[in-house]
Structure 1
Amino acid sequence: MLDGLYLAVLLVVAVVIILLPFRKQSIVAWVQRSGTRVPLRCTQATTALLVGFIIFVIVLYGQWGGWVSWQHHQVKQVKSKQMQAILKQFKSTEVLIEKLKQKLDDTPGSAKGWYLLGRLYVSQNDWRAAHDSFQKAIKLAPSQERYRTNDVYVEWMINQRQFNAEIRKNLQSLLQKNPKQPDVLALLAMDAYQQNDYQQAIRYWQALLALAPADSESAKALRRAIARAQRKTALP
């Protein structure tokens, strides 16, 4: 029972770290900072603030079972002191990475587990380790778009934020499957702009603009980028 509880806490903390960054990540970062995304950070305070949420999820886990597809235990009753003892182990993202790696040694067939591990590596700017993890996730679940999208972004970071034929091929493949994938559109727009293909950059940014809330900072940044590219096209 305690092993199931441990796994539930481990996965919830990993998901929370990925989904709740301290700094906002948005299209604005792509447009204004040449595609540089602000890395996520994890602190002990983050874990403490999320104790209530984790308790709630673990209780549901115990009632329903199978909340995470790659574990088979059911936790029916959770004691607060047990959970607190487990949470004390997650003092940093590095500790969480090691714990998740240990669990993946036991359950290497979990695509979601490898994906979460890759996202944690991204939060630490460990691009090659992230790439290895995403590749394992893709091998297990090749149809998952988010696995491939994250992997191509990591490939771009490994390549010193430079585009090459392989990265462009992967981006176009992703765009063909989902023409509204914002990360792919943002990267392709950046590539087109850097190659002085301003009309193509405008088309990608306009596609992104259609996805952004009208009065959002992302929309404002996209309009500025489009206007800048339009001025470039007007130059002799």
Structure 2
Amino acid sequence: MFWIVSLLLMFVAVLFVVVPIIQHARQQQGADGSGQHHRDSANLMIFEERLAELDAELAAGALDANQHQSLKAELQRSLLTDIKTGETSADRLKQGHPASTLTSANWLQPSRLVPVVIIVLMLPLSYYLYGIWGFERDLQIADVFERSRDNQGSPEEIRDLIFELGAVIEEDRENGWAWYYLARHLVSLGQIDEAARAFERASALVENTRDRSVILGQYAQAAYISAGQQITPEVQAIIDQAQRLNPAEQSVLQLLGADAFINEDYQGALTYWQQLLGMSPGEEDRQFLNQMIAEAQARMEAAGVATEVIEGPRLEISLSLGPDLDLAPDTRVFLSARNLQETGPPLAAKALTVGDLPAVVTLSNADAVGPFNLSSADEVTVVATVSLSGSADVQSGDFQARSPTLSLADEGPVRLQMLIADPLP
């Protein structure tokens, strides 16, 4: 399709050059025939006017008979010369010379020859330069990526895509998205160890913080399965990386919920799954989460543990930026509630952007990102950080606001206002 469209566009471009040249040539040929007739008529009129003037001068005595006769003969010779030249051109037109001699001469003029040569060279030269500077390979890669997004083909189709992605990687080993889609296809075929290595490579190459957090979340899942469904120090390090970029990364929450369920920490599993439900997943995922929540509650009831979900404390933060801050709308903002010791992951956290502010943000047990939530603490500190790097890791130059110590003992939501204005040293 690309080549067909490009040829059609090239044809239209050629018409823009050729049609005016042909029209001009036809007009010029027409002008040669009719122009000669007008020139002959003009010469005859001039001859008659000049002859009348000579006759008038003879009658007035300004010329004698010999002078009159000599001037009249000269005037007749001039008229015959002009008419003979015109007849020669007309004879050449009648004999077919315009299609050969005259027209060929016209086409050999630089003003016409140069556009014709450009037209002849334009097509091969354009495709040659496109092969050097064009994005044909990128279009092929985009097609592979588009087919990879579905990831629902047969094993044979998935293997074909793996070979195509392998060819892309052979040409460009720094293509993070090729590594990512390769990893997803390897997971589909059950090659988890190989997928984990591909996810690791992709996470190191993709720079966008949000995309990188998604890749790290899936990398953590693959590493978790490779480790025999154990959160080893290596798996925990991957989880920490993902949560520093996005505290509520869904793949990580899915992993933590599944691990809590396997280890019979049903309340912990409920916390993660309820948080996932609050993220408005698709209908199929929502049904699965509701089934798992019901299963966890049933096991808690069988063990004699209360199954009601405790709402727990709520923090309502009115968050805004200082009037002197001029930051890009997509700059990331991290809001977290921490215990006073500030050890381990936050008790609750959310990620926003500068474009979302000002806003009223609510933190609750549903926003837990680790094994502990707001209900596990009596006092907390709320920290709001504008991260210029896009990571939750605080760095010099980021802007931050920190609340005083807040007590969670009282019933009802805790409300506070926070203004982010001061840069970190």
TM-score range, shorter chain: 0.5 to 0.7
For residues 13 and 98 of structure 1, what CA distance do their matches in structure 2 show?
Answer: 10
1:191–1:16 Cα change, 3 Å: same
User: Which amino acid in 1 is paired with 2:290?
Assistant: R
- How do 1:64-75 and structure 2 match up within 5 A? none
Once the 2 structures are TM-superposed, how far is the Cα of residue 134 of structure 1 from its aligned partner?
Answer: 1.8
Query: What does the per-residue CA deviation read over 1:113-134, in whole Å, with 9 as the maximum and x for residues that have no partner?
Result: 2222222222322222222222
Query: What does the per-residue CA deviation read over 1:117-170, in whole Å, with 9 as the maximum and x for residues that have no partner?
Result: 222222322222222222222222364112212211211232344443432443
1:186–1:96 Cα change, 3 Å: closer
Quick check: which one's helix share is greater?
A: 1
Q: 1:155: which partner in 2?
A: 223
User: Which amino acid in 2 is paired with 1:20?
Assistant: D
For residues 200 and 173 of structure 1, what CA distance do their matches in structure 2 show?
Answer: 21
CA contact (8 A) 2:195 2:222 kept: yes
CA contact (8 A) 2:182 2:195 kept: yes
Deviates further, 202-211 or 146-155: 146-155
TM-score of the superposed pair, with normalisation by structure 2: 0.35
For residues 219 and 182 of structure 2, what CA distance do their matches in structure 1 show?
Answer: 12
Q: 1:113: which partner in 2?
A: 178
TM-score of the superposed pair, with normalisation by structure 1: 0.59
Q: 2:9: which partner in 1?
A: none
Q: Cα RMSD between the aligned structures? A: 2.9
Q: 1:93: which partner in 2?
A: 158
Instruction: Say if 2:80 is the partner of 1:13.
Output: no
For residues 206 and 140 of structure 1, what CA distance do their matches in structure 2 show?
Answer: 32
Q: 2:154: which partner in 1?
A: 41
Once the 2 structures are TM-superposed, how far is the Cα of residue 188 of structure 1 from its aligned partner?
Answer: 0.8
Q: 1:60: which partner in 2?
A: none
Count of aligned positions: 169
- How do 1:39-188 and structure 2 match up within 5 A? 41=154, 92-141=157-206, 143=209, 144-175=212-243, 177-188=245-256
CA contact (8 A) 1:41 1:123 kept: no
CA contact (8 A) 2:217 2:250 kept: no
Q: Percent identity?
A: 24
User: Which amino acid in 1 is paired with 2:150?
Assistant: L
**Structure 2: any 5+ residue segments left out of the alignment?**
1-129, 305-425
Instruction: Say if 2:293 is the partner of 1:226.
Output: yes
Query: What does the per-residue CA deviation read over 1:168-226, in whole Å, with 9 as the maximum and x for residues that have no partner?
Result: 44335434542432222121111111222121111111101112359x34333323322
1:232–1:96 Cα change, 3 Å: closer
Bigger CA radius of gyration: 2
1:6–1:42 Cα change, 3 Å: farther
For residues 276 and 151 of structure 2, what CA distance do their matches in structure 1 show?
Answer: 22
Instruction: Say if 2:307 is the partner of 1:194.
Output: no
**Structure 1: any 5+ residue segments left out of the alignment?**
23-39, 44-91
1:98–1:188 Cα change, 3 Å: same
CA contact (8 A) 1:171 1:188 kept: no
1:99–1:173 Cα change, 3 Å: closer
1:231–1:169 Cα change, 3 Å: farther
Quick check: which one's strand share is greater?
A: 2
Deviates further, 221-230 or 147-156: 221-230
1:130–1:189 Cα change, 3 Å: same
SS of equivalent to 2:278: helix
For residues 186 and 157 of structure 1, what CA distance do their matches in structure 2 show?
Answer: 13
CA contact (8 A) 2:242 2:252 kept: yes
